Amino acid sequence: MPSIPVTHATGSYDVHVASGLIAEAAGRIAASLPGRRLALVTDPQIRAALTSNGHWPAIDATVIEVPPGERAKTRDEWGRVTDQLLALGLGRDSALVALGGGSIGDLTGFVAATYLRGVPFVQIPTTLLAMVDASVGGKVAIDTAAGKNLVGAFHPPALVIADPGMLATLPDRVYREGLAEAVKHGVVADREYFEWIAKNAAGLVRREPKLLTHLVQRSVEIKAGVVSRDEHEVGERAILNAGHTIGHALERLSSYTLPHGEGVAIGLVAECRIAEGMKLAEPGLADRVAGLLVELGLPVAVEPRPATRDLLTAMSTDKKNRGGRIRMALPAAIGRMTATSGEWTVEVGEQELPG
């Protein structure tokens, strides 16, 4: 089973993708981080589900539980987990293991980045969204009242272990969130991949194992390539934020009851329409993207539609903004992003926003 390497400023790490890999997690962690004392961060729902379906990894680690979903990504939880590590007497010879979805990975990675000025951590994603996107790239963060992921760090994992076999028992809504990020990868970087997803949409909805393994592998390859070229998001990496400016704003306006993948799906279609309206994208792009997302069981609009002023306020703290002006990563065509003079984001005025 070949691994997918991701390079960064201080070295590289491998992403392993294969069905059944969870059974090898303990051995792979020991080989990558020998002799480390481990603390494993998860939530009670994940722990119960993985125990009941036989996927709980036999890792010798102290288990620390946090709340499910975005409720884990707070300053309070960061402080509580950090205090538990200190109480356990874990030193710089320790490492953390994130077992769960994107929120668990973000929180655990941020704790790892700040604990004793940095200890290694391992990502074991349990959702499709985390496998295809959140576990790769080293961006870790917590949320604040001002917005998502505004307090964070770049702290690459030492290892990523992705087992698509774990996806068979995910709730439908949670599973489909990851399909939105996979479609995004096709839109921003690989037309053939987008078309492959469209051709195999029915099988992906049915979670056919071979299709799922290819989906995770190809999305990881795409993201790994972008991240390796631009680790700290000073240029091209911004394309991975397609759909996220509006998506994150909708999540914030919903008080984070809107799942991230659904926000990305809605945001991706809206930002494609903005690109068409600004004459940056080929006509019909938004409809084509929306058609595939609908076929995959994802929403492409939100009701009631938020007021433009509320949307602007929610987008005002987006990390891509400059000088108080909204900037977005906008598609030009399937597989190609708008880029001008080395800039991968475009200023978007209030008049360009959906009314």
pTM over 0.85: yes
Catalytic residue among 28, 218, 248, 273: 248
> Do 108 and 92 belong together in one domain?
yes
37-42/139-144 β-pairing = unpaired
**Active site annotation includes 319:** no
Q: Which amino acid is at 298?
A: L
Which of 70, 77, 177, 181 is the catalytic position? Answer: 181
What's the confidence (pLDDT) of residue 83?
A: 98
Domain boundary among 150, 169, 188: 169
Question: What is the Cα–Cα distance from 291 to 286, expressed in whole angstroms?
Answer: 8
Please confirm, yes or no, whether 350 is among the known catalytic residues: no
Same domain, 70 and 122: yes
172-230 pLDDT tens trace = 999 999 999 999 999 999 999 999 999 999 999 999 999 999 999 999 999 999 999 99
- Which residues share a beta bridge with 124? 99
Q: Is 248 annotated as catalytic? A: yes
Half-sphere exposure of 323 (CA within 13 A, CB side): 3
- Active site includes 244? yes
- Known catalytic residue: 241? yes
Looking at 169, 189, 223, which one is the last position of a domain? 169
Domain extent, residue 247, equals: 175-352
Report residue 111 as tokens: 């704790």
Average pLDDT estimate for 328-353: 93
Q: Are residues 146 and 245 in the same domain?
A: no
- Residues 173 and 179: beta-carbon distance below 8 Å: no
The residue-averaged pLDDT of 157-180 equals 96
CA angle, residues 329, 351, 238, in degrees to nearest 5: 10
Q: Where are the beta strands (DSSP E) in the chain?
A: 4-8, 11-17, 37-42, 62-65, 94-100, 121-125, 139-144, 147-154, 159-162, 327-328, 331-333, 336-337, 346-347
Q: Are residues 83 and 155 in the same domain?
A: yes
Tokens 């209030």 belong to: 350
Catalytic residue chosen out of the listed positions 16, 148, 155, 237: 237
- Asked whether residue 250 falls in the same domain as residue 154, the answer is no
Q: 139 and 265 share a domain?
A: no
Instruction: Specify whether 279 is catalytic.
Output: no
Q: Is the same domain home to 61 and 113?
A: yes
Measured between alpha carbons, how far is residue 116 from residues 75, 82, 151, 201, 208 in Å?
17, 10, 18, 45, 43
Q: Is 117 a catalytic residue?
A: yes
| Catalytic pick among 28, 73, 214, 241 | 241
Is 139 annotated as catalytic?
yes
Cα–Cα distance between 193 and 12 in angstroms, integer? Answer: 25
* CA 255 to chain centroid: 19
How confident is the prediction for the chain on average, in pLDDT?
A: 95
Per the document, the length of the chain is 355
Residue where a domain terminates, one of 169, 188, 210: 169
Structure tokens, 257: 């009851």
User: In terms of domains, do 183 and 318 share one?
Assistant: yes
Shared-domain flag, residues 50 and 23: yes
Three-class secondary structure assignment of 13-35: EEEEECCCHHHHHHHHHHHHCCC
The reply to whether 68 and 103 lie within a common domain is yes
Do 18 and 159 belong together in one domain?
yes
Q: 245: buried, middle or exposed (CB in 10 Å: 19+, 13-18, 0-12)?
A: buried
- CATH number for the domain that contains residue 114: 3.40.50.1970
Same domain, 140 and 27: yes
Structure confidence by residue, pLDDT tens digits, 86-106: 999 999 999 999 999 999 999
How far apart, in whole angstroms, are the C-alpha atoms of residue 17 and residue 217? 6
At 355 the pLDDT is 62
pLDDT digits (tens, 9 = 90+) for 297-323: 999 999 888 999 999 999 998 889 998
Q: What is the model's pLDDT at position 1? A: 57
The three-point CA angle 7-101-118 to 5° equals: 50
Q: Is 142 helix (H, G, I), strand (E, B) or coil?
A: strand
The answer, yes or no, to whether the previous bond of 304 is cis (omega within 30 of 0) is yes
In the chain, the number of structural domains is 2
Q: What's 132's DSSP letter?
A: I
Question: At 276, which CATH number?
Answer: 1.20.1090.10
Among candidate residues 129, 139, 141, the one with its CA nearest the CA of residue 184: 129
